Every structure is written in C-alpha cells, then in structure tokens.
C-alpha cells in the first residue's frame, strides 16, 4: 500500500509545487508585505485556501471520527492523483504563475521545497495516512518561511537606508524634488525631468521605483557629483513611509499631486492617507517650497495650513491630467527656466501628456497604454480624453485594489463614466458587479483569446483599445505590434 501512496504523492507533488509557486508569486507581487497580502486575501481567500483545502479538512475529520474513514481517505488520494495530473497539464500549457527568480525568491523557493520534502518524508514514513495535513498547513509554512527571510531583509534594508542617507548628506549643493500623491506622481516626475534636464544635470527615480529601498538604491548606485537635481518619486502604503523616504533623500522641494482613496484599505482611513502624503511637506526645511495641485480639494486644504513658502498649480487646467504638466512648469519656473526653455521641453513630452502611450496595435488598431494608472482619477482623466477621439473604443482593465470600503462606490462610478464613451471589459472578478451596476453593458472576460475575439468582432482599423493598469502581459503582447 505504501508504494501506491508513494505513486500518488509523486503526482500530488506537482499540485503542491503549483500552489507553492503561486503563493510566492502573490507574496512577491505584494512586496512581501503582510498588510498588502492580508488585504489581497480579504478579497480572495482562495489564494491560500482553495476548495481542496476545505475538502482536505473535511476528509481529515471524517477519517478521524467516521468508521468509513479508510474509504474516504482512499477517495481523497484518488482526488490528489487527478489534481497532480491537472497541475502537470497546466504546466505544459504554460498556465502556472511563476514569481520572478531574484536571489531572495530563489531562497524562498528553495526553503519551501526543502520544507515540503521534509514534511512529506516524515509523514510518509511515520503517519502516511495523515499526509493530507500538509495541504491544510502549507499556507502557514509559507508564511513562516517568508517571515524568516524578511528578518535579515529588514536588517539589510536598514543598513542600506543609512548608507544612502550618509551619501545624500555629502551632496551639499544637490537640490532634491520630492513628489508624492495618490495619483499623478510618475507623470509629474517625468515632466519635471524633461523640462529641467536640458539646463541641469538631473537624476530621477526610474519607473515606479518609489519605495524607500528604491530611493536608497538610486542614491547609492546612480547619484554622482555631476548631478545638480534629484527628482524623487515617493510612494507609500501606510503612514510613516514617506517620512522615511524623506529622511533618506532630504528633499527641499515638495510636490503634492493629488489625494484620493488609493490604498485606503492599507492606510485605514482617508485621514491617514492625507496625513501620510503630507509627511513630504512636513519634512521640508524652513527655506523649502511646497507645490500643491489646485484641482484637488485635499491639496487645497493642506495648502492653506502650510507655513513654509508654497504655491498652487493647475488652477487653469483645461482638461483632466493637464495639472500634472502645469505642476512641472511651476517647478521649472522655480528653477529659473524661461518661457522659451519650457516650450522646448514641452515639445519632448507632448506625446506623453495624459498618461497614455500610443502604440501600434494589430489589424490597424490604436492601443492607448496606461500601464500604471491603477486609480480612479487616472481612469476618469483617460475617459475624458478619449471622448474627443473618433472611432469606437474598448477599455480593458482589472478591478482596482486596496480601496477598502470605497471599492464599491469607485467601481460603480467607473462603470457609469464609461457609458456612451466605450465598451468596458473587466479582467478580474473583484468588484465586477459594482462596475456592472454602473454600466450594465460591462463584460467580465479573463481569457486572452476571448478578449481578442471580442475586440476583432467589435472594432475596425483606426479604432481604439485602452489598456488600464496591469492588464495581463499575454494580452498586451497579442495586441501590440
């Protein structure tokens, strides 16, 4: 009988490996943060507790208290055999989710496989009937492994922060522009960089690398004596994180791009979001200057209470998103750029205004790629923009995350705003019903082939596909030439 168990466990191991890799993929996606992982779990408990875990628990109870336990146990092992076959089939079809194999992830995967193997070995040789326990306890094992690896990671990060702070302090003449907000950070950073880089030697944080460790690494690896200005995007998921980024980068200029409900589930309240973003302004020196987006009510209120030199920008913005350009112009004027120099700089970024990258799509389609908006204000700005464009449009987006109790209202508003503007395809089930209550025509489609088929049925050459936030990479590759 042990050989039969061993044969089944061999196949079951593929199922377990798939679960391990998927769980680690989610941990990595959430930056190994317990608060972000917990928020994701609150929306989708099947990440860690799929139906098979519930079935395993019930079978375990049955084998403990039911005289038919042996029959039930054998039935469960047959189920595990077929789960293993299914996992192998999905692997061959490239349907497994793999984390990016960084050094840290390789360590996590290695420890997870070693732990799983040891657990299997002990149970198989001592309590072979109870090997199903691992199916139930696996999430706890992975949590402990991630926690174990995070301890030296925390100590290493602390050392990196101090080294970056010391290096930054040695650059006495460096001007640092800190940029934060719930939305508009990246585009404002790029616009400021484009305007200033013709006249000054400017360093910026790359992409959306806006965490404390990202900022610290940028300082340590890229900042040199030739740089005159450092444009530093600062993101946060809870209070205290922007303060830490400011402690590292020591900004003298602060730009607050706007505040909404983004990451409400992690901050805990709108008040905490406001206070968290304002940490940038509070960290500026007395001779510093703060810029606030006049189009945002929270920013206007913070502007009123700020005591250092301050300036409102974006008051005259004529279309959504233009305030980000006006904010960059305000900063450029502070650094002494003339109107001619600013006009020249704007020529370089005119195709980026609005936060949408225009790409050539298949079959003559135009693809507007907003790969990191992921917030209500960005999506609404894009909808306002595409209203003016000719042709039919389809918007594809996953549900927005980490909005807490505001999620239902936000998704309903998105649905309402798309009516009469574009067809809307949602790629994730979270809050889809809220979107549909705003727009009954909204579709839930998470299969790339089905989405492509819908696009080809609906659109013609010259029509537009808008990609909001992190749509599946496979879909982007199929859509964009």
Instruction: Quote the CA–CA distance of 56 and 45 in Å, as a whole number.
Output: 16
For residue range 354-381, list pLDDT tens digits in order: 567 788 888 888 888 876 566 777 888 8
HSE-up of 291 (CA within 13 Å, CB side)? 28
Nearest to 182 by CA among 296, 103, 319: 296
Helix, strand, coil percentages (3-state) for the chain, rounded to 5, are 60, 10, 30
Instruction: Quote the CA–CA distance of 76 and 57 in Å, as a whole number.
Output: 11
- Per domain, the residue ranges of the chain are 2-152, 171-349, 357-479
pTM (two decimals): 0.77
DSSP reduced 3-state for 199? coil
> What residues have CB less than 8 Å from 302, skipping those under 6 apart?
256, 274, 278, 281, 292
What is the pLDDT averaged over residues 7-19?
A: 85
Distance between start and end Cα atoms, the chain: 56
Q: Is the pLDDT of residue 59 over 80?
A: no
Please answer whether residues 249 and 179 qualify as being in contact, where contact means their C-beta atoms are separated by less than 8 angstroms.
no
pLDDT value of residue 173: 94
Quote the mean pLDDT of the chain: 86
**What six digits make up the tokens of 34?**
């317990």
Q: Is the pLDDT of residue 350 over 70?
A: no
CATH class of 171-349: alpha beta
> φ, ψ for residue 304 (rounded to 5)?
-65, -35
CA angle 268, 269, 275 (to 5 degrees): 105
For residue range 69-114, list pLDDT tens digits in order: 666 667 777 887 888 899 999 999 888 889 989 989 999 999 998 8
For residue range 120-142, list pLDDT tens digits in order: 777 666 655 566 777 778 888 88
Q: Is the pLDDT of residue 205 over 90?
A: yes
pLDDT value of residue 61: 67
pLDDT value of residue 111: 92
How many contiguous H segments (helices) and E segments (strands) does the chain have? 19, 12
Architecture of domain 357-479: Alpha-Beta Complex (3.90)
């Amino acid at each position: 009988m042990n050989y039969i168990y061993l044969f089944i466990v061999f196949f079951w191991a593929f199922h377990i490996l798939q679960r391990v890799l998927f769980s680690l993929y989610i941990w990595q996606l959430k930056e190994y943060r317990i608060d972000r992982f917990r928020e994701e779990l609150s929306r989708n408990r099947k990440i860690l507790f799929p139906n098979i875990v519930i079935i395993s628990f019930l079978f375990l109870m049955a084998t403990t208290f039911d005289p038919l336990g042996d029959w039930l146990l054998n039935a469960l092992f047959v189920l595990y055999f077929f789960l293993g076959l299914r996992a192998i089939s999905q692997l061959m079809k490239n349907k497994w989710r793999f984390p990016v194999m960084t050094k840290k992830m390789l360590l996590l995967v290695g420890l997870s496989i070693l732990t799983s193997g040891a657990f299997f070995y002990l149970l198989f040789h001592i309590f072979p009937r109870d090997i199903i326990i691992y199916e139930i306890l696996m999430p706890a094992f992975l949590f402990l492994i991630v926690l174990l690896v995070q301890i030296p990671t925390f100590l290493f990060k602390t050392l990196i922060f101090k080294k970056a702070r010391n290096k930054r302090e040695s650059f006495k003449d460096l001007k640092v522009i800190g940029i934060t907000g719930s939305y508009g950070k990246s585009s404002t950073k790029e616009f400021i960089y484009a305007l200033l880089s013709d006249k000054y030697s400017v360093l910026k944080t790359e992409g959306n690398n806006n965490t404390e460790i990202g900022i610290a690494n940028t300082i340590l690896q890229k900042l040199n004596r030739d740089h005159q200005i450092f444009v530093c995007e600062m993101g946060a998921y809870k209070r205290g994180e922007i303060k830490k980024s400011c402690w590292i980068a020591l900004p003298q200029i602060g730009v607050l791009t706007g505040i909404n409900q983004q990451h409400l589930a992690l901050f805990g309240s709108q008040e905490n979001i406001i206070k968290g973003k304002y940490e940038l302004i509070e960290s500026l020196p007395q001779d510093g200057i703060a810029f606030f987006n006049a189009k945002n009510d929270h920013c206007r209120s913070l502007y009123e209470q700020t005591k250092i030199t301050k300036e409102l920008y974006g008051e005259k913005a004529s279309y959504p998103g233009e305030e980000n350009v006006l904010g960059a112009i305000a900063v450029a004027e502070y650094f002494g750029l003339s109107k001619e120099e600013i006009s020249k700089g704007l020529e370089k970024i005119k195709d980026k205004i609005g936060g949408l990258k225009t790409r050539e799509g298949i079959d003559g389609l135009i693809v507007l790629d907003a790969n990191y908006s992921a917030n209500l204000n960005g999506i609404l700005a894009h909808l306002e923009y595409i209203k003016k464009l000719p042709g039919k449009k389809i918007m594809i987006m996953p549900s927005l995350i980490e909005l807490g109790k505001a999620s239902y209202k936000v998704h309903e508003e998105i649905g309402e705003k798309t009516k009469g503007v574009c067809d809307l395809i949602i790629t994730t089930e979270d809050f889809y019903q809220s979107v549909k209550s705003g727009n009954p025509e909204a579709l839930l489609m998470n299969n790339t082939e089905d989405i492509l088929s819908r696009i080809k049925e609906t659109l013609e050459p010259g029509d537009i596909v808008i990609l909001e936030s992190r749509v599946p990479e496979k879909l982007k590759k199929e859509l964009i030439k």
